Amino acid sequence: MDGVRTSLYLAAPGSKFWASGVSVPLPTAIARAAALGYDAIEIMPRAVDDPEPDKLRTLTAQHGLTIAGIASGFLAVEQGLSFTHPDPEIREEAVEAFHRCLEMAQRAGAATVSIGVVRGKLSHGLGHAQAMAHLLACVREVGRAAQARRLTLVLEPGNRYETDFLHTVEETIAFLEAVNLPNVRLMLDTFHMNIEEASIAAAVHQAGPRLEHVHFADSNRHAPGWGHLDFAAVAGALRAIGYRGGIGLEMMFEPDFDAAARQGIEFVRRLLG
C-alpha cells in the first residue's frame, strides 16, 4: 500500500456532528491539512451550499488538495431527515435533499457521497422489514441519480447507537447486492467496526473488492494510536485484499486540531507507508 492517499474529515464549523468538529475556520483547517501532507479533505457540511461548493473547490485546489467525499449526515443531524422515517413526506424530503447534496458534490468536485446516519433510527409503529424496504427504495433512487452525475455513493456500516440499520459488513454487503448498482459501494470505519464486528480484520477480508474507502479512528474516536485498536491487523487485512483506495481520518480533534491531525497522518504513514 505504498503511497496511500490520506484525507482529513472535517465537520464544518458550527456543525452539530459530534465527531470531527473543527474549532478553527474552515480555510485555516484546509491550509493546515495541506501543510501536514494530507492529499484530500472530506466535508460534513452544515447545509447544502454551506460551505459553498465552488468556493470550496477553489480553496482546496489552491492548497493542492482534492475533495475525497461529501458526507450526507448533515441531512439527519441538522435537518432531522432520514430514509426510514415513517412519514412518506419526510422520506421524500430526505431524497430531494440528497439530490441537492449530489449536486453540491458534483460542483465541488468530490469523488464520493457517503450514506451514514441519514439511514435513521427505527421509529415507533414501523417494523424493521418495512423500514429496510424504505431504505432500499431511497438508496436505489439516489444511487441512480449519483450514477447519472458520475458519482460514487459509499454506504458505511454504522454502530447500533447511531442507527438501527446495517451494522456489519455482512449485512451491508447483502444490502448492496439488493441495491445492485455498480456505483453504490462499501465504506468501512474502524470506530464503528470496533463496536459491531467480532473481528475487524475478518470483516475487511469479507469486504474484499466492494471496498471503496476506509475511515480510521481509534476505539475512543481519537486519532489512531491513541486508543486500543490493533491497526496492524487492519493494515494486514487491507494489504491481503489488495486495497488501493484512500484512508480518511475521521476523528475527534483532541487535545486540539493540530495535534490530532498530525498524529493521524503520521500514524498512517508509519503503518502503511
156 is catalytic: yes
The separation between the first and the last C-alpha atoms of the chain, rounded to the nearest angstrom, is 7
Catalytic residue among 78, 197, 212, 250: 250
- Whole-number pLDDT of residue 2: 66
19-66 pLDDT, tens digit each: 778 889 999 999 999 999 999 999 999 999 999 999 999 999 999 999
Cβ atoms within 10 Å, residue 209: 10
Question: In angstroms, what CA-CA distances link 201 with 169, 186, 206, 233, 250?
Answer: 11, 15, 9, 6, 19
Inter-residue contact 156 to 187 (CB < 8 Å) = yes
Cβ atoms within 10 Å, residue 61: 12
72-118 pLDDT, tens digit each: 999 999 999 999 999 999 999 999 999 999 999 999 999 999 999 99
250 is catalytic: yes
- In the chain, pLDDT over 90 holds for what percent of residues? 92
DSSP the chain: -TT--EEEEEEPTT---SSSB--S-HHHHHHHHHHHT-SEEEEE-SBTTBS-HHHHHHHHHHTT-EEEEEETTHHHHTT---TT-SSHHHHHHHHHHHHHHHHHHHHHT-SEEEESGGG--PPTT--HHHHHHHHHHHHHHHHHHHHHTT-EEEE----TTT-SS--SHHHHHHHHHHH--TTEEEEEEHHHHHHH-S-HHHHHHHHGGGEEEEEE--TTSSSTTSSS--HHHHHHHHHHTT--S-EEE-----S-HHHHHHHHHHHHHHHH-
111-168 pLDDT, tens digit each: 999 999 999 999 878 899 999 999 999 999 999 999 999 999 999 999 999 999 999 9
Q: What letters, b where the CB count within 10 A reaches 16 and e where it falls short, cover 85-116? A: bbeeebbebbbebbbebbbbbbebebbbbbbb
Q: Using a cut of 0.75, tell me whether the model's pTM lies above it.
A: yes
166-197 pLDDT, tens digit each: 999 999 999 999 999 999 999 999 999 999 99
Q: Going by CATH, does the domain composed of 6-272 fall within 3.20.20.150? A: yes
Higher pLDDT: 235 or 273? It is: 235
**For 20, left (φ over 0), alpha (ψ -120 to 50), or beta?**
left
Statement: residue 251 has pLDDT above 80: yes
- Whole-number pLDDT of residue 1: 63
The C-alpha cell at 23 is 474549532
148-161 pLDDT, tens digit each: 999 999 999 999 99
Catalytic residue among 156, 171, 197, 266: 156
- Whole-number pLDDT of residue 7: 98
- Whole-number pLDDT of residue 14: 83
